[in-house]
Amino acid sequence: MAKKDAKPTIVLERNYNIPLRREWLKVPRWKRTKRAVKAARAFLQRHMKSDNVKLGKYLNEYLWNHGIKNPPHHVKVNVTKDSEGMVIAELEGAPRPEIKEEKPKKGAEKKEEEKEEKAAKKKEEPKKEVKKEEKPKAEEKKPEPKKEAPKFEEKKPKPKKEKKPEPKKEEEPKISKEGEEKKAKEKEEQKKVEELAKQILKKGSTK
């Protein structure tokens, strides 16, 4: 298994009382605390000979405690430098976080030992050739011919008889009452003329 990277160790530890007033007096009131933070960082870079400087939580809260216009004049800090060159500054007397060492789990150690034992056993045992019994192949079932369903004869539609158009009956002209009266008068006049003609013929025959 690959070894874990070694944790950085503390190489140097010092205590400083950092003066801040001389720096934050150079700027307006509403920029004083910002300049104090920069001054503390520059002081630590110069004295610890490292550009990688981090200010701790409690130190930051102490600097900003009274706002941006009223930073402290001095601040006492505890500074540590590790083997990688990282500098961490924390307020003097602030609690330090406890570093818990990771202990290897018992279950994980047992599993690794079991794996190693199994691998050693596999190497010692000779490999046995196992012949596989060839099973008789099942007779291939021939596909049965599909029964064709009886086809129903399609009924052809009977040709429709074309209906001959019936001859339209000539409508008799409707005769109004006046026309009927005229016809009746004409018939009467014809009868009278015929009667007169008959009478004339009779008189001529008598003579």
Domain range annotation of the chain:
10-91
Check residue 68 and give its pLDDT.
95
More confident residue, 152 or 165: 165
Check residue 186 and give its pLDDT.
87
pLDDT tops 60 at residue 130? no
Check residue 51 and give its pLDDT.
93
Check residue 6 and give its pLDDT.
72
Question: The whole model's pTM is what?
Answer: 0.46
Is residue 178 helix, strand or coil? helix
Token pair 């047992």 is found at 110
More confident residue, 138 or 51: 51
Check residue 42 and give its pLDDT.
96
Check residue 2 and give its pLDDT.
43
pLDDT tops 70 at residue 5? no
Is residue 54 helix, strand or coil? strand
Measured CA to CA, the distance from residue 66 to residue 158 in angstroms comes to: 109
User: Using an 8 Å Cβ cutoff, are 36 and 72 in contact?
Assistant: yes
Check residue 163 and give its pLDDT.
66
Compute the average pLDDT of residues 156-179. 64
Q: What is the mean pLDDT of the chain?
A: 79
Check residue 157 and give its pLDDT.
65
* pLDDT above 90 coverage of the chain, percent: 38
Provide the b/e sequence for 150-189 (b: ≥16 CB within 10 Å).
eeeeeeeeeeeeeeeeeeeeeeeeeeeeeeeeeeeeeeee
Check residue 1 and give its pLDDT.
40
Beta-carbon neighbour count of residue 40 at 10 Å?
Answer: 24
Strand partners, 21: none
- With a CB cutoff of 8 Å and minimum separation 6, the contacts of 44 are 16, 18, 53, 77, 79, 87, 89
**What single letter denotes the amino acid at residue 131?**
K
- With a CB cutoff of 8 Å and minimum separation 6, the contacts of 32 are 24, 68, 69, 70, 71
Compute the average pLDDT of residues 163-187. 70
Torsion angles phi and psi, residue 55, rounded to 5: -95, 135
Per DSSP, 49 falls in state T
pLDDT interval class at 164 (50, 70, 90) = low
pLDDT tops 90 at residue 99? no
More confident residue, 166 or 11: 11
Strand partners, 78: 15, 90
- CATH of region 10-91: 3.10.440.10
